[in-house]
Structure 1
Amino acid sequence: MHEFDTRSAFSVSEEERVQQYERLWDEPGFAKWLSNFYDVMMPGPANEHYAEFFRNKIRERVKDPVVAEMLTPKDHMFGSKRLPCESGYYEVYNRDNVLLVDVKNAPIQRITENGIQTADAHYDLDVIIYATGYDAVTGSLSRMHIQGAGGRTLKDKFAEGPRTFMGISSVDFPNLFTINAASVGNFVRAAEPLVDWITECVAYVRDNGYQRIQPTQQSENEWTQHMIEGGQNILRTQADSWFVGANIPGKARFLLTAPDTAPVMRAKRAEIASNGYKGFSLE
């Protein structure tokens, strides 16, 4: 698990700051993203300072300066999109059999019989692999016809953004628990603890003679407001990405992953359970 450094990037000397950056650079996973100085993950000078450190690392690893600049993000702040947890990714662009094309400057015009035509040139290809993204988080639920107690579908309810309590369940959809569907933290780290929590919840409902469980309207409203307010102060909402559904035309812009850390989410769920599943209506 990662925890932010509670110090500001500018509360230490330049030497100590760079030492921290270098240490995190050598660590695996999301360390450089989620274990940095706390203000690196906020809009402002600390974020830009670390972003330039990251850009220089790319420039060191990619031999062609033109290609290096193409690989250096300039349209969003560091951390507002998921960074590549890679091993040797940037070095791939040093190979003679790899060509990087900037389709923002030279957009794709059409797929041809033998390859791809951009505004600048035609590229002969044997295979085209589409990596166009997907409807993250809520897309799988929207494709299923899940109808609630009042006849409304979950797709309709989530049309303006997912309304849930803790990302676990939603009013008018009793006994429906969603895992990594919306408003939870990092999915890989959330999945197993969430499954355990739901399993214990179902056992509690059964053992105490209840038939139905769903959030109260108040708890759903409060959690939805927490998602809205929490999203105003984090980088994930500052860029057009799947974090807010911006990659899907027509999808409402809404923070899809909780602004809280995994330990905080686990603590909140534990408190709910220890208080007889406070925030839920049991019948």
Structure 2
Amino acid sequence: MATVTQERVHAAADAIEAAGGRVSVRAVRDHMGGGSPNQITTFLAAWRAKKPVVAAAEIPVDPRIGQLIAEQVRVAAGEAAKRADERATEAEDTLALCQQENTELAEQLADVTSALEDVRAQREQQAGTITELREDLARTRQEALQEIEAADAKADREREAAETARQALARAELRLEALPRLEAEVERLRTALEEAQSGRQVAEQQAAVATAKLEAAAQRVTAAEEREREARQQASKALEAAEKASGEAHQAQVALQATQARLESASRELETAQASAAEAKAELKEIRAELKKPAKPATKPAVKKGEGN
């Protein structure tokens, strides 16, 4: 819509009047290319108020021209009525334009009001959605932090459990390393015993006793070796359980407890085997000492009196 100003309305009215046209709201509006009829009406009224009024000069009237004046009055009255009709028509036209503009403005206002309500509702809905998204984001972030902390704590526990299992396994392996020396000692004593058995016949009885002791010691050694194998198997199982515990987080605690139990059992078996080996070693030392002693001469049985006769 064209901008309506007082200067533009007055200029349009002057141009229409100079061209011999009838100055009206519609004519001014058409000349300006549009504009609000209400504003044009106000400015056009100011333009008309500024128009100069020509005062009639006092001229003596000839009585003879009374009829002519009366005729002129009738003509002037007709022209005044015509101008009044034209002004009424112009007023009606202006009123119609104003009513049309008011209707258009009312429709535009209704459209703008409806659009504004839609925008407000959309903003309220978006504000609620944004609030929910922010709450979901904060809740998700908190849950993620908690899961990360739990995973870190679980990883620390698993690393500690694996390190404990490795240390226990190392101690068990150190204990098992001492068993080969015991086996070598037993083998050496067995060889010495076999050499002693080929000696003097007088030592056969002592050798038999020594053999029995050696067999008992060998049985203990065999039992110790069996316990050693079991200990090695348990230690191997403990190592597998420890390695499996480091790879499977959800079974780390159970595997660690089982590993600890196996390691403790292996440690007890190892201690028992070492004790048995120590006992066998002590017995073998006693056997060696007995073998080194000189053989006692066989004593003749005493002859009772009267038997020779």
The TM-score with structure 1 as length reference comes to: 0.19
Give me the TM-score of the superposition, normalised by structure 2: 0.18
| Larger proportion of helix | 2
- Bigger share in strand: 1
Structure with higher Rg: it is 2
